[in-house]
Amino acid sequence: MTPSEASAQARDICGLAPVIPVLVIHDLAHARPLAEALVAGGLPALEVTLRTPVALEAIAEMAAVEGGVVGAGTLLTPADVAAAKAAGALFGVSPGATPTLLDAAEAADLPMLPGAATSTEVMALLERGYTVQKFFPAEANGGAPALKSIGAPLPQVSFCPTGGVSLANAPTYLGLSNTLCVGGSWVAPAALMEAGDWDGITKLAAEAAELPR
């Protein structure tokens, strides 16, 4: 998979909904009902972060949910890429990007949403062929004003800002011409998952799915 092919697929995934839920799953029993709740609410693209022992198993469970497009986040190494692909992930997300990580993703035919925080990082990814990137950590790096400023000299790059994005500030990001969607965890709060309140999560997802862009 070439970087341009990866970016084309990432653009399609980002176009599925205004928000990609960023999910940290500690209890494997939550995986399938969580995916079903989010898809029912209109958020089909799901990022499961590889930050817990059950993350890969959760990806496998969620990949079986009809209508879901499940990806793996926090990919840091070639081993992470291989494990995510084997678990059924359809895309990958990384907090940053290294040539080694990108080589592995391209070889595995796993479309990547590589992270960038500065203009230099954005340019390096663009030079390689990645025109769709993750802006991370968004709020800590200046938020929507910073992303707008980066877009002025680099209009050919589109972003999914993640990190500190909430229902309150998501519309500001989505209003930028270089933002395709946002990534956020507010649609799947831990308290609702622990309570098994899947209807509550569907309601949050539906609210997020209606955000204008």
From the candidates 47, 61, 85, 106, give the one annotated as an active-site residue.
47
Other CB atoms within 10 A of residue 78 CB: 17
Q: What is the model's pLDDT at position 99?
A: 98
Task: Determine the Cα–Cα distance for residues 74 and 179; give it in Å rounded to an integer.
Answer: 20
In the chain, the percentage of residues whose pLDDT exceeds 70 is 100
Angle at CA of residue 115, ends 53 and 118, nearest 5°: 140
Task: Determine the Cα–Cα distance for residues 81 and 71; give it in Å rounded to an integer.
Answer: 11
Return the bridge partners of 70, or none.
Answer: 46
Does residue 134 carry a catalytic annotation? Answer: yes
- pLDDT band for position 39 (50/70/90)? very high
From the candidates 57, 106, 134, 210, give the one annotated as an active-site residue.
134
Q: What is the mean pLDDT of residues 128-140?
A: 98
Q: What is the mean pLDDT of residues 126-136?
A: 98
Distances 23 to 20, 45, 49, 109, 190 between C-alpha atoms, Å = 9, 11, 6, 23, 10
- pLDDT band for position 47 (50/70/90)? very high
Q: What is the model's pLDDT at position 67?
A: 97
Does residue 106 carry a catalytic annotation? Answer: no
Tell me what the pLDDT averaged over the chain comes to.
98
Q: What is the model's pLDDT at position 191?
A: 97
